[in-house]
């Protein structure tokens, strides 16, 4: 297996994890588990960015590095919208609160909209990934 084929296989794995995480977020939302939903939404976005980075032969060991790459390599270059960068940042901070702050509450209607936006985010990164393959 060539290095490029290996990178594509890893990219496919991360994109599959992104889609699974979004589906898990929908399930958590339907059960009223909003903190867990936020966690899964963040990871859906994180895995989608990681998939495209993997396809490019890049791997970062820290969440902050993936976030920085999103802004530097995708938002600033106009590959994805500024709104996607803001969404990612919002999810990044909300996930921290959901995972580490006691008694934090999230607005159900905001989360419902975020589920839709993360679906759009994943679609955008799937398109970028497909472009990389062609």
User: Encoding tokens for residue 34?
Assistant: 């909003």
Q: Alpha helix (H) ranges present in 1-134?
A: 3-30, 34-55, 63-69, 82-100, 108-133
pTM over 0.85? The answer is yes
Angle, to 10 degrees, between the axis of helix 108-133 and the axis of helix 3-30?
160
Q: Where are the domains of the chain?
A: 3-133
Tell me the mean pLDDT per 10 residues along the chain, length 134: 86 97 98 97 98 92 94 96 97 96 94 98 95 62
State the pLDDT at residue 134: 45
* Whole-angstrom distance, CA of residue 37 vs CA of residue 40: 5
CATH superfamily of 3-133: Nucleotidyltransferases  domain 2 (1.20.120.330)
């Amino acid at each position: 297996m060539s290095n490029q084929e290996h990178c594509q296989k890893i990219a496919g794995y991360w994109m599959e994890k992104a889609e699974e995480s979004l589906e898990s977020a929908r399930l958590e939302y339907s059960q009223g588990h909003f903190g867990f939903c936020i966690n899964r939404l963040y990871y859906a976005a994180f895995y989608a960015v990681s998939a495209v980075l993997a396809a490019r032969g890049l791997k970062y060991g820290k969440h902050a590095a993936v976030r920085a790459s999103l802004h530097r390599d995708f938002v600033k270059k106009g590959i994805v919208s500024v709104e996607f960068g803001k969404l990612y940042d919002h999810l990044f901070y909300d996930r921290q609160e959901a995972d580490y702050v006691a008694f934090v509450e999230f607005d159900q209607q905001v989360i419902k909209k975020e589920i839709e936006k993360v679906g759009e985010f994943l679609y955008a990164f799937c398109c970028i990934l497909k472009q990389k393959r062609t």
